[in-house]
Amino acid sequence: MFGNWIKTSILMAGIVALFGVVGGVIGGQQGMLLALVFGGAMNLWAYWFSDKMVLKMYRAREVDETTSPYLYNMVKGLAGRAGLPMPKVYIIDEDQPNAFATGRNPENAAVAATTGIMRMLSERELRGVMAHELAHVKNRDILISTISATVAGAISSLAQFGMFFGGRDGENRPNPIVAIIVMIMAPIAGMLIQMAISRTREFGADRGGAEISGDPEALASALAKIDAYARGIPMHTAEAHPETAQMMIMNPLSGGGLRGLFSTHPSTEERIAKLRAMVH
């Protein structure tokens, strides 16, 4: 828990500093001050509202024991086993099998599953997946993953803002300095996430999920199925917002290039091997 707070603080400080540098290049000292204020405000906003933004981005709909008793009661039972407060439960209308957890702490957490994963997995396998997501909640991974997803998108937006409003010279031609900034912002955003999100986080959630569900083999089987099908079924929201990919149980992105910067998941084969080693 303490380590995640340190990572979160470093990430937030890095965001403010980066905003200040970009603001200074775009608008001098005044631009730097404005960007620093904006960066600080963005951090505060991200802390309180980034989870809601991600859920809205994926058009997730909240369910309860009346609207989706199957998923809701499954999560309720697992949360009780894990000693966690009952999180909010959401369903995302996407064919790709995937799931994620979000929120700033266990008391304000949410778990989301796609309709694709609910159709594809058996009840036992889905329990393993939702237990994995609750392990992220228990390990307090969700704050840093949600904040990093939202601020990475904001960094790119800042660069675009500079291109349109501060990035042209007296003859209305693109300022080459700002053009260079725009080109490097997406990789920087990706590197920030790589620094903030350790791949060991997924191994920890796999182990924790297996312990919560009491069934490591079920999660291993689920990961194998998700990996086999997710690559061939696009998730358009994730493709449009690749910074959110690291929140998912499986990388939802289909392409390479810059999207590879956001690939923060370890290999599925290694994850499955570690889970199956828990059985023996």
Full DSSP string of 18-35: HHHHHHHHHHHHHHHHHH
What is the DSSP secondary structure assignment for residue 248, as one 8-state letter?
Answer: B
Tokens at residue 38, please? 């904006």
Tokens at residue 275, please? 């889970």
Query: Which residue, among 203, 199, 197, 213, has the nearest Cα to 273 in the 3D structure?
Result: 203
271 and 202 in contact (C-beta within 8 Å)? Answer: yes
Alpha-carbon gap, residue 206 to 160, rounded angstroms? 38
Which amino acid is located at 231 in the chain? R
241 annotated as ligand-binding: no
Alpha-carbon gap, residue 88 to 90, rounded angstroms? 7
E-assigned strands of the chain? 61-63, 88-92, 99-103, 109-114
pLDDT of residue 168: 47
266 and 198 in contact (C-beta within 8 Å)? Answer: no
136 annotated as ligand-binding: yes
pLDDT of residue 155: 65
132 annotated as ligand-binding: yes
Alpha-carbon gap, residue 231 to 183, rounded angstroms? 28
| Residue 184 CB neighbours (<10 A) | 11
Tokens at residue 152, please? 């990475």
Q: Which of 133, 171, 217, 239 is catalytic?
A: 133
Instruction: Tell me whether strands 109-114 and 99-103 are parallel, antiparallel or unpaired.
Output: antiparallel
Query: Would you call 133 a catalytic residue per the annotation?
Result: yes
Alpha-carbon gap, residue 87 to 89, rounded angstroms? 6
Tokens at residue 147, please? 């904040």
What is the DSSP secondary structure assignment for residue 249, as one 8-state letter?
Answer: S
Beta bridge partners of 88: 110
Alpha-carbon gap, residue 216 to 211, rounded angstroms? 7
Alpha-carbon gap, residue 82 to 261, rounded angstroms? 33
pLDDT in tens, the chain (280 residues): 555 667 667 767 777 777 777 677 666 778 778 878 877 787 777 778 888 989 999 999 999 999 999 999 999 999 999 999 999 999 999 999 999 999 989 999 999 999 999 999 999 999 999 999 999 999 888 887 777 777 766 666 665 655 555 544 444 444 566 656 655 665 566 566 555 566 778 999 999 999 999 999 999 999 999 999 988 899 999 888 877 888 899 989 875 544 445 556 888 999 999 999 998 6
